[in-house]
Structure 1
Amino acid sequence: MSVLPPTRLPRVLHGAAASRALDQRALADGPADRLMERAGLAAVHLLGRRFPAARRVLVLCGGGHNGGDGYVVARLLQQRGYRVACLRAVPVTALRGVPATVAARAAAVPDCPPAQLAAALRDTDLVVDALLGTGLSRPVAADWAAWMQQVQHSGCPVLALDVPSGLCADQGAVRTAVLPATATLSFITLKPGLLTGQGPDVAGELYWDDLGVAPALTAEVAASAWLPDTRDLAAWLPPRRRGGHKGRYGHVGVIGGDHGLGGAAILASQAAAQCGAGKVSVLSRPAVRDALLIRQPEVMARVLDDAGALPAALTGLDTLVIGPGLGQQPWGRELWQQLRDRQLPRVLDADALNLLAAESGAPLGVTTVLTPHPGEAARLLGCSTGEVEAARFEAVAALAQRYQCTVLLKGVGTLVAAPGQLTALVRAGHPGMASGGMGDVLSGIIGALLAQGLPAFEAAVAGALVHGRAAEAVARRRGERGLLASELLAELPAELNPVSDSHGFLPRHR
């Protein structure tokens, strides 16, 4: 048992229901209070390391197991000489089971009545949030929400136990009130809501402790998602054979770039070329051809001023990237009608998704990848963007089921889902990627990986990981703000290629 920092989190995620089921199994294997005592001890160790100057601590204790963890923390801190107080959100006489037992052990910890919370916060170095954890199942009560707001406005740092109060552990959504944390310590399982949607902003620095629960026991509980990393890239993209040639690595066709939108198609084609496709062609307007010859002479241009010339222009292509700059005018609409049922591995992005949303939702096939942002996902599902963001896992699963293909839902904690696959959550990237053209680069990366033989799900997961890591590499040099999509291009090969050492080939780590 040891608290792991954010760089060493487990690779498998479990939602609230699975976590509670695992808790019950683990509780059956020893004294009933064992896990709660371990959780409190882990939190105290992290508190001392992460907040070494804090000596005056206020612990907010709810009524369930999360509140029980808080009572253990309060008692242990008091024993170590901290000045501690507890806001007992639920009367101790109303507690049952293990929470009642550990609350009784903390009876010597002074009480902080809710009416005195504002005054107490002025004399507090750190707040420990043990109000709700994974127990959020309804809107936060008005009085609890008011306490949480007072803590937030006080400016005191907050250590959240398991999950910040008010954050949905499964979806990363905030439905009513929330208490943002400076740091969060997740117990036994890592909850997916901490890593997607609003979760990363609310959770702050993320830590995890298995509390000594055996991995074999954790494996018995169904997972919600998994976290890919560079080990997966190394497995999916081994070193090339010495006798390889461009015909072996696929020919990507990027289709888009209507009048005024040519940059999108150019960026997608450049990304495909930088990511190892044997050949790349852009099928677009004459103006795009002229710009492309200057910008990237390695990419071929096929003029498609007349949509009727599409069948001939598709000759020799192995993979399609449809949508960057396609537009929704007659030119783009006619191209889409001809491409909708084309049976080639393909990525649908941008206006291809908008045109798809206007249709009936017929299946697209297992070799198709959709890459919507939340607004595009909402149009495809016929709901609001807010509804997608409130249930990101449900939204991506619904799209994958409706279209029977791989779906990559962009946003904080990118999600990749496909029928029969455990959803992947990609943590790579940063807020500087919120700029024009980023999605075009991503679609080109995925198109190149499809062309090199990766199945659609693996290509989408690898593409999101490479895309995010390339953006991180740029940010390390000059910061996040002002990042341009074209700046990622030079970083892509380094993320896709293993480096050799005396023991073989290893994924590149920066």
Structure 2
Amino acid sequence: MQIFATEQIRAWDEYTIRHEPIASVDLMERAATACYEWLMQHHYKGRSFSIFCGKGNNGGDGLVIARLLAQSNHAVSVYILEFGHKGTVDFQINLARLHDTTAVIRFISSEETLYPVPAEDLVIDALLGSGINRPTDGLTAHLIEHINNSGNEIIAIDIPSGLFVDHSSRNNIVVKARHTLSFQCFKPAFLMPENAAAVGQLHILDIGLHPAFLSTQHAPFELVDQPMVSRLLQPRQAFAHKGDFGHAALVSGSYGMMGAAVLCARACLRSGVGKLTCHIPATGYIIMQVSVPEAMCKTAENEAPVQEMDKYDTIGIGPGLGTDARNVALLYSLFAQNRRPMVIDADALNTIGREKDLLNKIPAGSILTPHPKEFERLFGKTDNDYDRIQLALQKAATYNVYLVLKGRYTFIASPDGKGYFNSSGNPGMATGGTGDVLTGILTGLLAQRYAPLHAAIIGVYLHGHAGDLAAAYSSQPSLIASDLIDFLGQAFQSM
């Protein structure tokens, strides 16, 4: 699913108006009706409503919602932000229609006209929408603070007022919604952690924008979803054998952190790899042999993990590796021996963060999986989430690697300049070991000769989807990393 910037979203509306065809006021009616129906289906039937509207098309959406609520016998008060202009044509049409209902209409022209919000009212934010390009100030800012300070539950229409779509809103005065009802597709703002407190729970409503528009557009970002992953997964052939599915190596583990190596190995095997060899310290030999009998083991005492590494289809390195100073030489040796794409995570990334020259030695097409702090150690601090995304794209191109920046909507930066946000996963996965599981999955997919981009897309989605299945079975708070491995088979099956 494509993720569009502000101008593309506006262009999609206009394309629909021309090619469906449909009048703009009727498209507004369709969008607002979808919001009204959502309200009725989500236990807000019978509530009283305070609806705050600007005079643009977002305000027009609010007026239609107000009319539909009033016509279904709900108590509705509408507060219109007044700056002396008439507003858009569609806003004016719907204001005239609203006058024929029981809705109470008030205008806010100064701070003195900021009416108290009744405690029992549900607040609807339809002030500004997605078209703003500067921070709110003056009366608009005071009104937003007034809404936030009311203590009422707030539902934002399209996007919380004051939030930018395409760039950072840090330090902006923005509506803090419990729910945001947006239309047709994700906006970049919804995918940034810094906006979580403003967006609340996001709901994308299908309003029937013309599907042919999608083929006319290049989107800088895409949302990874189940249809995309299903198209990329390769079915197994009837006469296949284990050699067809690759031989992976994992270089992982250290004293006290063999659990990370075990999780990574189990996930790698569950991802479908033909053979797996784990290069581990001698202290972890019995642990690995007992915990993962399907994997072969080599230790530093019988065959050094930096020898004969070119025989593997791919290598995953990092989980539980520790901070031993010898890791620098280990990485130099691995990068020299095996020039195929590999997966680099955890302590391997931290080692590269200390020895930056290693960045230029990483095999082309490799997948790096930093969490935000690891990313910062590699490439430096950024001022906001948007800048971090742009820096990830820049560095992916510079070093010809794929950067998997882990988070709620894990971001994949491709060296061709395109970015992918993953849609699966849940907060229960914020627990130790889930990153080790992801490394194992990605390593297994690379060994099966998936292209690195496809391995990254499939891997992050299946990882999150397994977490969703596990949380549905037990709960988010009780989720542990092993649960993801246990549900990985069901995740594959659901594809």
**TM-score band w.r.t. shorter chain:** 0.7 to 0.9
Aligned partner of residue 481 in structure 1, secondary structure: coil
**Which of 20, 44, 47 does residue 36 from structure 2 map onto?**
44
Distance 2:168 2:407 in 1: 12
1-structure distance, mates of 2:106, 2:346: 56
Instruction: Select 1:74's aligned residue among 55, 66, 70.
Output: 66
Q: Distance in 2 between matches of 1:91 and 1:73?
A: 22
Given candidates 3, 6, 15, the residue that maps to 1:16 is 6
- 1:448 Cα deviation from its structure 2 partner: 0.2
SS in 1 for 2:30: helix
Q: Which residue type is aligned with residue 377 of structure 2?
A: R
| Other-structure match for 1:240 | 236
**Aligned pair in 2 of structure 1 residues 50, 483: CA closer, same or farther (>3 Å)?**
closer
How far did residue 54 of structure 1 move?
Answer: 3.9
1:261 and 1:303 map into 2 onto residues whose CA distance is 15
SS in 2 for 1:271: helix
- Structure 2 residue aligned with 1:130: 126
Q: How does 1:445-464 map to 2 (within 5 A)?
A: 445-464=441-460
Match of 2:116 in 1: 119
Match of 2:390 in 1: 394
Q: What does 1:11-410 align with in structure 2 at a 5 Å threshold?
A: 11-27=1-17, 31-93=23-85, 95-103=87-95, 105-106=97-98, 109-111=104-106, 113=108, 115=112, 117=114, 119-122=116-119, 124-141=120-137, 143-170=139-166, 175-198=171-194, 202-304=198-300, 309-314=304-309, 316-341=311-336, 342-357=338-353, 358-359=355-356, 361-362=359-360, 364-384=362-382, 387=384, 389-391=385-387, 393-410=389-406
Residue 324 to residue 367, structure 1, CA distance change in 2 (3 Å): same
What's the CA shift for 1:319?
0.7
Separation in 2, partners of 1:121, 1:380: 51
Q: Secondary structure at the match of 1:301?
A: strand
**Deviation of residue 27 (structure 1)?**
4.8
Structure 1 unaligned residues grouped into runs of 5+: 1-10, 499-506
Please list the CA deviations of residues 179-203 of structure 1 after superposition, one character each: whole Å capped at 9, or x if unmatched.
2333322234432332442556643
Equivalent-residue separation in structure 2 for 1:36 and 1:56 (angstroms) = 23
Post-superposition offset of 1:73: 2.5
Which secondary structure does the structure 1 equivalent of 2:343 belong to? strand
Q: Which amino acid aligns with 1:121?
A: P
User: Mind listing any 5+ residue stretches in structure 2 that lack a counterpart?
Assistant: none
User: CA distance change for structure 1 residues 79 and 475 in 2, over 3 Å: closer, same or farther?
Assistant: closer
Per the alignment, do residues 234 and 24 of structure 1 end up closer, same or farther by CA in structure 2, a change over 3 Å counting? closer
Work out whether residues 171 and 392 of structure 1, in 8 Å CA contact, stay in contact via their aligned partners in 2.
no
- Please say if residues 13 and 209 of structure 2, whose CA atoms lie closer than 8 Å, have aligned partners that are also in contact: no
Q: TM-score, normalised by structure 2?
A: 0.87
Moved more, 284-293 or 254-263: 254-263
Q: CA deviation at 1:70?
A: 1.8
Name the CA distance, whole Å, in 2 between partners of 1:78 and 1:487: 48
SS of structure 2 residue aligned to 1:111: strand
Report the Cα offset of residue 299 of structure 1.
1.5
Amino acid at match of 1:471: G
SS in 1 for 2:445: helix
Whole-angstrom distance in 2 between the partners of 1:426 and 1:311: 34
Change (3 A) 1:363 1:421: farther
Letter of the 2:330 partner, please give it. L
State the 1:116 CA deviation.
Answer: 5.7
Residues 96, 243 of structure 1: alpha-carbon distance in 2 compared, 3 angstrom cutoff: closer
Q: CA-to-partner distance for each residue in 1:105-135, whole Å, 9 max, x for gaps?
A: 546742164546562232x421111122213
Contact 1:366 1:406 in 2 (8 A): no
**Deviation of the 1:235 alpha carbon:** 3.4
Name which of structure 1's ranges 341-350 and 231-240 shifts more when overlaid on structure 2: 231-240
Alignment match, 1:504: none
Question: CA RMSD for the aligned pairs?
Answer: 2.9
Structure 2 counterpart of 1:454, one-letter code: Y
Q: Contact conserved, 1:169 with 1:191, CA < 8 A, in 2?
A: yes
Does the C-alpha gap of structure 1 residues 116 and 83 become closer, same or farther in structure 2, counting only changes over 3 Å? farther
TM norm structure 1: 0.85
- Residue by residue over 1:48-72, the C-alpha shift from the partner in whole angstroms, topping out at 9 and shown as x without a partner, is 3324434421111124321232233
**CA contact 2:58–2:157 (8 Å) conserved in 1:** yes
Residue type at the aligned position of 1:426: N
Question: For the residues of structure 2 that align with 1:467 and 1:264, how far apart are their CA atoms?
Answer: 16
Q: Residue 183 and residue 311 in structure 1: after superposition, are their counterparts in 2 closer, same or farther (change >3 A)?
A: closer
2:484 equivalent in structure 1: 488
Separation of aligned partners in 2, 1:63 and 1:402: 46
Cα deviation, 1:455-494, whole Å, max 9, x if unaligned, reads 1111111111111121222222221114221232222223
Contact (CA 8 Å) 1:256, 1:332: kept in 2 or not? Answer: no
Amino acid at match of 1:322: I
Take 1:455 and 1:489, find their aligned partners in 2: how far apart are those partners? Answer: 23
SS at match of 1:156: coil
* Counterpart amino acid of residue 12 in structure 1: Q
Deviations 1:397-447 (A, max 9, x none): 223222222121110111122133743221211111111111111001000
Q: Deviations over 1:79-112 (max 9, x none)?
A: 4433222222243536355445544554674216
Deviation digits for residues 370-404 of structure 1, max 9, x if unmatched?
A: 111112222333224x53x3445424322322222
1:380 and 1:159 map into 2 onto residues whose CA distance is 39
SS in 1 for 2:144: helix
Would you say how many aligned residue pairs link Structure 1 and Structure 2? 485
